[in-house]
Amino acid sequence: MAFPPAFLEELRARLTLSSLVGRRTRLVKAGREYKACCPFHNEKTPSFYVNDDKQFFHCFGCGAHGDVIGFTMRADHLSFPEAIEKLAGEAGLDVPRMGPAEREKAERAKTLGDAVEAACVWYQEKLRAPEGRAALAYLHGRGLSDDTIERFRLGYAPEGWRNLAAALKLRGYDEAMLLEAGLIAKPEDRPEPFDFFRNRVMFPITDRRGRVIAFGGRVMDDSKPKYLNSRDTPLFHKRGNLYALDKARLGVGERKATALVAEGYMDVIALHQAGFVGAVAPLGTALTEEQMEALWRIHPEPVVCLDGDAAGQRAALKAAETALPLLKPGRALRFAVLPAEDDPDSLIKRDGAAAFERLLERTKGIDDVVWESELAKGPIDTPDRRATLDAALRARLARIADKTVQKAYENEWVWNRLRRLGRPEPVRQGFTAYAGGLQQGARGKPGKGRKGPVGPRDFGLRTTGNPEILVRRAQNVLVTANIFHPDLLWEHAEAFAEIGFSDPAAAQVRAVILDYAHECVAAQSPLDSEGLIAHLSGMGLAAEVVRFTKPSSYEHGAFAGPSASQDEARAGFRSVLSLLSQSRVEAELHPAVREYAETHEAGIVIRIEALAAQLRDLHSRAFGDEDDAFGAT
């Protein structure tokens, strides 16, 4: 019995070979592969290897070799059709039947693939021909090396209406086939077909195995449309494919790269050339469910790279909304927000790969994207407004099908973030112990390492035994840091906004700082210290500006002062936030422990364990040695 090749490929893609083999024999990780004692013959020394990236197993002892289908046939003593039926059930696929018409269609698809491959070769040749000089110069001008151009098989579709059609006709491909492959077009108002792509730089689109299935074409001037993609064909479905997925799959598997989603072809190629070899792009559409499924097959947490403008924020929310019903443990999306007016290509050209690497260190989750979108809708300063926010978040929760993930998001949105809104930050035991001079080791363990209160890391806070003064000093020094180093807001705006200031003047200055930053983003104007100070003074806060910028305001933290470098300010800001966060986490942990003691509900245990782990991490960072951020003044 024959099965459509596309179905068999989808079946293999949906199943992980190591998971299947692991049910039969114990697998041990060995570099990029797994090894085990062969399930098909008796052996004491492992000689059986499984490679998920290349989708095959091989035994060096008995010679057994194959893919997920071959393994099922051997392990379960099944025929090929029986193995397909079994695996399709596990993958959630319906098994199609191939009659004469389906077999003819499969053969036709194979022939179409040959035609598209021939077109790709022709486009490559034209790029290096005299008529392709401008296109080649354009690609070089965009910073692409010859090696990159060759690796991505970039080409050129010359001007003229029937160049490709004539060339492929000489190679035996008829007009009907070229029409079906999307290489030529034939509108009703024209007497004969013409080349679909003309005077464009050509980007071959491949399937996950690297076979050319379609093209994207880009103009070299300002004419419209800038990009033109092949229409859907028997080979190519725009919603289900990703540009450079074949290269990203290998990059993630062999080089342990992070899967990245950029907007366009040039972004993807620039990322690969800079070493970010897990990059892909959707094909002129927002991320679809099918594309997300393809991403999760190669990486558990793909990072979506978006512009920092309003359109980028809308795209982030749309991707988050699409992903919510699909989330499962081990499946997530992260979001990297680029500076306004930048894309990955321009950022890497100007600031280098290290700048993009730093951007990936500050990604946001779906929880952050949805939360920020709801807060942006309006104030939440009354119980009624917070109730509206609660209802909106619970509507989002209802869309998450997996109950474990749904509960985790409920804990984060409802129990963690929502219940903090409108409440002052309490003084907690962690600060009391710190203010009293708790002896701490390098990783926060009593009795070893440091003796007595720590040195410059406490930025002068140890001079008081009053925990309330301690908290106020920590909060106020963050206000000073943001006045002198407003770039900190791009990384820590949400954390800064969530601090429950015990000093009303600090809270008032904080509110104006955040509003001003929002205005700068909307107007695409720079956010600098001089402009911020002028704005605060213009808002009637001149006295507060003097208070928070005089030298005594940062005597408790040199990192906050004007002479500190951006890296020093960033490190100090993070460390102070860590100390303040301990207070907030403890405020949630202690009631949860009391609640569990009274109710013994299993769900509370998960929340307690998560809060305890978070507190340990914050405590370790606050007292550890890795960020000596606080300089003596």
CATH number at residue 200: 3.90.980.10
Structural domain ending residue among the three candidates 209, 236, 263 = 236
How far is the C-alpha of 456 from the C-alpha of 475, rounded, in Å?
Answer: 17
Mean pLDDT of 121-137: 96
Percent of the chain residues past pLDDT 70, beyond the cut = 83
Q: Is residue 630 part of a domain?
A: no
Helix (H, G, I), strand (E, B) or coil at 202: strand
Output the CA–CA distances (angstroms, integers) from residue 540 to 18, 477, 550, in the order listed.
Answer: 65, 21, 18
How far is the C-alpha of 398 from the C-alpha of 118, rounded, in Å?
Answer: 49
Comparing CA positions, the residue from 278, 286, 221, 223 lying closest to residue 254 is 278
State the chain's mean pLDDT as an integer: 82
pLDDT at 424: 38
For residue 106, pLDDT over 70 is answered with: no
Helix (H, G, I), strand (E, B) or coil at 536: helix
pLDDT at 166: 94
Per DSSP bridges, beta strands 56-59 and 200-206 are unpaired
For residue 468, pLDDT over 90 is answered with: no
How far is the C-alpha of 573 from the C-alpha of 568, rounded, in Å?
Answer: 8
- Domain limits for position 443: 429-623
Q: Is residue 459 part of a domain?
A: yes
Of 275-279, 299-303, 627-631, least confident by mean pLDDT is 627-631
Q: Is residue 483 part of a domain?
A: yes
For residue 442, pLDDT over 50 is answered with: no
Structural domain ending residue among the three candidates 41, 71, 91 = 91
How far is the C-alpha of 157 from the C-alpha of 142, rounded, in Å?
Answer: 18
Contacts of 442 (CB under 8 A, 6+ apart): 448, 449, 450, 623, 624, 625
For residue 387, pLDDT over 90 is answered with: no
Torsion-angle region of 486 (φ positive above 0: left; ψ -120 to 50: alpha; else: beta):
alpha
Of 133-142, 218-227, 435-444, least confident by mean pLDDT is 435-444
Terminal Cα distance for the chain, rounded? 81
Q: Is residue 65 part of a domain?
A: yes
Q: Is residue 633 part of a domain?
A: no
Mean pLDDT of 142-169: 95
pLDDT at 356: 93
Structural domain ending residue among the three candidates 317, 343, 364 = 364
For residue 602, pLDDT over 60 is answered with: no
pLDDT at 247: 94
Say yes or no: 463 and 527 in one domain: yes
CB neighbour burial string for 281-314, b if at least 16 within 10 angstroms, e if fewer = bbbeeebbeebbebbbbbbeebbbbbbbbeebbe
Say yes or no: 467 and 601 in one domain: yes
**69 is written with which tokens?**
């289908």
pTM here? 0.58
For residue 306, pLDDT over 60 is answered with: yes
Say yes or no: 226 and 129 in one domain: yes
Mean pLDDT of 121-143: 96
Q: DSSP letters along 505-534, please?
A: HHHHHHHHHHHHHHHHHHHT----HHHHHH
Say yes or no: 394 and 248 in one domain: no
pLDDT at 165: 93
pLDDT at 99: 63
Per DSSP bridges, beta strands 200-206 and 364-365 are unpaired
Say yes or no: 508 and 603 in one domain: yes
User: Of the ranges 196-205, 246-255, 292-301, which is most confident?
Assistant: 196-205
Order of strands across the sheet that contains 227-229? 155-157, 200-206, 212-218, 227-229
pLDDT at 400: 95
Report the CATH number at residue 68. Answer: 3.90.580.10
Q: What is the DSSP letter of 333?
A: -
Of 18-27, 295-304, 452-461, 576-585, least confident by mean pLDDT is 452-461
CB 348 within 8 A of CB 274: yes
User: Of the ranges 144-158, 250-264, 361-375, 535-549, which is most confident?
Assistant: 144-158
pLDDT at 268: 96
More confident residue, 454 or 337: 337
CB-based burial of residue 558 (10 Å sphere; 0-12 exposed, 13-18 middle, 19+ buried)? buried
For residue 83, pLDDT over 60 is answered with: yes
Mean pLDDT of 505-529: 82
More confident residue, 609 or 210: 210
For residue 376, pLDDT over 70 is answered with: yes
For residue 596, pLDDT over 80 is answered with: no
For residue 529, pLDDT over 80 is answered with: yes
More confident residue, 25 or 313: 25
Say yes or no: 105 and 80 in one domain: no
For residue 197, pLDDT over 50 is answered with: yes
For residue 364, pLDDT over 50 is answered with: yes
How far is the C-alpha of 156 from the C-alpha of 199, rounded, in Å?
Answer: 7
Say yes or no: 615 and 488 in one domain: yes
Mean pLDDT of 240-263: 90
Mean pLDDT of 294-323: 87
pLDDT at 103: 61
Say yes or no: 41 and 153 in one domain: no
Task: Report the domain count for the chain.
Answer: 5
Contacts of 351 (CB under 8 A, 6+ apart): none
Contacts of 608 (CB under 8 A, 6+ apart): 589, 592, 593, 596
For residue 57, pLDDT over 50 is answered with: yes
Contacts of 523 (CB under 8 A, 6+ apart): none
Q: Is residue 629 part of a domain?
A: no
What is the helix, strand, coil percentage profile of the chain, to 5? 55, 10, 35
Q: Given pLDDT bands bounded at 50, 70 and 90, which one contains residue 502? A: confident
Say yes or no: 203 and 298 in one domain: no
CA dihedral 109, 110, 111, 112 (to 10 degrees): 50
Note if the bond before 325 is cis, omega within 30 degrees: no
Helix (H, G, I), strand (E, B) or coil at 228: strand
Q: Which amino acid is at 241?
A: N
Say yes or no: 156 and 278 in one domain: no
pLDDT at 171: 87
Q: Is residue 313 part of a domain?
A: yes
How far is the C-alpha of 345 from the C-alpha of 167, rounded, in Å?
Answer: 34
Mean pLDDT of 9-13: 83
pLDDT at 307: 74
pLDDT at 617: 65
Comparing CA positions, the residue from 315, 316, 280 lying closest to residue 298 is 280
Which residue has tokens 């029937």? 162
For residue 453, pLDDT over 60 is answered with: no
pLDDT at 417: 82
Say yes or no: 463 and 317 in one domain: no
pLDDT at 108: 61
Mean pLDDT of 66-76: 90
Q: Is residue 303 part of a domain?
A: yes
Which residue has tokens 């039969």? 24
Report the CATH number at residue 355. Answer: 3.40.1360.10
CB 212 within 8 A of CB 116: yes
pLDDT per position as a tens digit, 314-350: 888 899 999 999 999 889 999 998 887 788 888 999 9
Q: Which amino acid is at 585?
A: V
H or E segment and range at residue 49: strand 48-51
Say yes or no: 388 and 458 in one domain: no
